[in-house]
Every structure is written in structure tokens, then in C-alpha cells.
Amino acid sequence: MRTFLLLVSCLVFAIVSVTGLRGTKTMRSPIEIFPDMVRQAKVKEQAPSYFFSDQRASRYPVPGTVPTTDPVDLPYLNTGTIGDYWGDGIPIPVTGETLKTGRERFEIFCSACHGSTGSGNGIATQYGLVGVPNYHSEHTRQMPDGQIFFVITHGQGLMLGYGANLSPEERWAVVAYIRALQLSQNAALSDVPIAERQRLEGK
Amino acid sequence: MANLFGKAANQLPPKIVVGILIIGALTVAGIAYYFTPKYTRVGYMPKQPIPFDHSLHVTGLGLDCRFCHSFVEKSGFSNIPTTQTCMSCHRMVKADSPKLAALRESWETGEPVRWVRVYQLPDYVYFDHSAHVNRGVSCFSCHGEVNLMRTVYHKTPLSMSWCLDCHRNPEYFLRPQEKVFDLGWQAPTGRQQIEMGKQLIEQGKINPSDNCSACHR
């Protein structure tokens, strides 16, 4: 009996030292104990597929393809241009909700470089990013809405486009929020509704 | 014939029974401990082609999860960022770093960076990220404190019973919508969390299914 117990404890010790404990950090791929249909030969997002010669499961759309959700018959909403010129004005309803969306998207996608107030002092500028403009300069304040939309979509100078990450409506919401930021840095007391003025003046 | 079995043979049958019981108990314990994603998946930390540091980008720089995983709110699949997303900064920031060689190669050739997938559900499970993050389930609930991870590893088991723990009692895990992507947020503990969770369930009309067809189609 003693020999048996000794053997069993040796075996347990051997198994535990080879397999390790739960949650140990490891680089080996997870074992699939019951692999039935766990990995199927189907096309999956952002995964390689040997069905296509370039091994991409995510296919490029045919050139010229437009998503059915894009308002193709509304060129200004979609491009920011009217004919050969920048359009001005925001072609979606601007409400508190729009500005909230705009602020949220701005803080996700823009503030890392442009800064939360749009002064061009985002965190990335401390790490060697150069040429970030200040939204409160006269040049940017005079920029038509359509041009700002175009820059968000396709980028400009050193900035790459964010058109793939933001829907047209979200981009317009960001334009609206940028306008709000610009207003916030250049507002006069006369812009404040009379009812609110007293509170601002501390009376 | 009388001496074929010695006196010790009298004790053999109970010894065999005890031995079988010990071996049986150890086998059951071993299977229960090892044949579960808590052992097979948790802790998986593969080597990536680029040693991307989430703690630096999220906690250090304050980037939002959605800056890179930009479709997580709109799509069932939470995307790995495009090379362009990385290059927005890395054409100027650390542009010559040897750690980013795979990124520059991808930028020049147009071939994707071959990241190694860490979290992977079985192909017969249809999980939808947007359905969860838009209803107050934080990234944290499944992916853990990614904001502090230098190298991402598999945090939670993703076993079916683990999914059902939350589907049956979401009040333990839900958080306010604006805190879903705020991984540093401290959730209230104990009764406070349950009360907040119940309120969120009522407000958001959250009714997680525990029907098979919710995830298996």
C-alpha cells in the first residue's frame, strides 16, 4: 500500500509539473479537448482564407461600390462639396444630441492630436507629432464646413483620413462640435442668453 | 492447497477497492481541473508580430478603445485596427523603431499585419460585440484590465456556463453606458452594484436570452 501511494503521488506530481496550474501565462495555443466543429472552414472576419488567391477573407469591394446606407443622391452630405466648391452649412439637423455625438467622436478620434479643446496640443504632440493646426486660428475659423468634412474624410497634410471609421453623419456631427469649440474660445457676453448672463457675471 | 494464499491475502480485496477509489477520485479531479477553458484558454499570451503595449496607449496616452477597435459599437465583430490607423501617428512617432518593422512593411506592401488572435470562440458561437457594449456590458467584463496589460492575454474562460452566469444575472456586471469603454472605472461593490444593475436593466429594457438559439444558430 505504501509503495502504491508513493507511486500515485509521484504520478500526480509529474502531471502537475508538466501541465501547470490554471491561468499560467503561456505562449502555447489553447488545446481544444473536444474539437468537433470548433474550427469550421468558413470565411471569417479579418482572418486568412485559402479560398482566395490573396488569402484575404475580407474582400475589397469592386471599385466604385457605394454602401446601400450611403446617401448617394445627396452629394453634399457625402462629400462636403457643391460642384467644384466647398459647401458651407451642416446638412444634418444640429441638436444637442448631434453635438453630444460630435463630442464623443471628437474625443475618440481627434483629441489625441488636436487636443480636447482643438488648440492643437493633443498628447501625440508630446511624442514627436508635428504640424497640428490650432482650430482657433483665423485660417481654420474661416474654413467652410464642407472643407472640414473633407479633411476628416480624406485627411490633409500629415493627417490621414478617418472616413473609414466615421459615418458621414458622424463626420458632420464632428464638424458641428468643432464649430462649437471655436465658438467657445471666441464668444462674447452678448452671445449668452440674457437669463444666463447674471449667473456668468457672478451676480 | 491450504498455503496458496498467505494470511496477507485477506487484506487484498479492501486494498484493491481503496486503490481504485483513489485512482478514480484523482482522475475525476484531474479532468475537472484541466478539461475546462479555465485551464486550456486562460493565460494564453501569444507573441505578436509587433509588441503592442495596450497600457502605454490606453493608460499612458488616454486613447479610447474605439480609436482602434472602431466598429465595436456598430458591428458584431470588433475589428483589429487598419495599418492606416497605426500610421496616423507612427509615420512621425517612433517612425524608425525596430519594433514597428512589421507595421512599416505592411504600410509599404499593403499586406495586413498578421496579428495572432487571442480570444476566439468556437465557430458555432455567434457573439455580437455591438449587442453587448451598447447595453452596458463593458470590455472589462470579458477582456479584463486591458488598459494595464503590456501584452494582451486571455483573461476569462469564455465557457458557456461563464456566459450564462451573466445572461442569467446581468445585474452583477452591467455598468452605465458612458463607463463601458472606461476600463479604469471602479465598479461599485456588493449591494450597490446589484441595485445599480437592476436599475440599468429596467431603464435599458435588458432581457438577455438564455435560449440556445441566442448564440447557436
Give the model's confidence band at B157: pLDDT under 50 very low, under 70 low, under 90 confident, else very high: very high
- Reduced to 3 states, what is the DSSP secondary structure of residue A19? helix
DSSP code string of chain B: -TTSS-GGGGGHHHHHHHHHHHHHHHHHHHHHHHSSHHHHTTTB-PPPSS---HHIIIIIT---HHHHSTTTTTSSS-PPPPHHHHHHHHTTTTTT-GGGHHHHHHHHH-PPP-PPP-----TT----HHHHHTTT--HHHHH-SGGG-SS----S---HHHHHHHHH-GGGT---GGGTT-TT-----HHHHHHHHHHHHHHHT-----SGGGT--
Q: Tell me the per-residue pLDDT of B168-182, one tens digit each, with 9 for 90 and over.
A: 999 999 999 999 999
Look over chain B and give the mean of its residue pLDDT values, rounded to a whole number.
93
Rg (CA), chain A: 28
Share of chain A above pLDDT 90, in %: 58
Is the pLDDT confidence value at B5 over 90? no
Res. A202: pLDDT tops 80: no
User: Of B150, B195, B180, B188, which Cα lies nearest the Cα of B53?
Assistant: B150
pLDDT in the model for residue A71: 64
Confidence of residue B4 (pLDDT cuts 50, 70, 90): confident
Q: Please state at what angle helix A168-186 crosses helix A145-154, rounded to 10 degrees.
A: 120
Q: Which three cell numbers stand for residue B40?
A: 486550456
Higher pLDDT, A65 or B124: B124
Predicted pLDDT of residue B3 = 76
Name all domains of chain A by residue range, CATH numbers in brackets: 75-191 (1.10.760.10)
Determine the average pLDDT of the residues in A177-195.
Answer: 87
Q: Is the pLDDT of residue B1 over 70?
A: no
pLDDT at A199: 81
The count of C-alpha atoms lying within 13 angstroms of the C-alpha of B86, restricted to the half-sphere facing its C-beta, is 20
The verdict on a CB contact (< 8 Å) between B35 and A33 is: yes
* pLDDT value at B32 more than 90: yes
Chain A contact set for B15 (CB, 8 A):
1
Q: Where are the domains of chain B?
A: 11-39, 44-63+70-80+117-214, 81-114
pLDDT number for residue B119: 95
> How confident is the model at residue A190, as a pLDDT?
82
**What is the distance between the alpha carbons of residues A38 and B122, in angstroms, rounded to a whole number?**
5
Average pLDDT over residues A127-154: 92
The answer, yes or no, to whether residue A203 has pLDDT greater than 70, is no
Distance CA B7, CA B2 (A): 11
Which residues on B lie below 8 Å from A37 (Cβ)?
122-124
Selected for mutation to probe chain B from A31, A69, A113, A151 (highest B CB count within 10 Å) is: A31
Contact B70 A165 (CB under 8 A): yes
Q: How far is A183 from chain B (nearest CA, A)?
A: 26
Does the pLDDT value for residue A83 go beyond 90? no
pLDDT at residue B107 is higher than 90: yes
- Tell me how many residue pairs between chain A and chain B have CB atoms under 8 A apart: 106
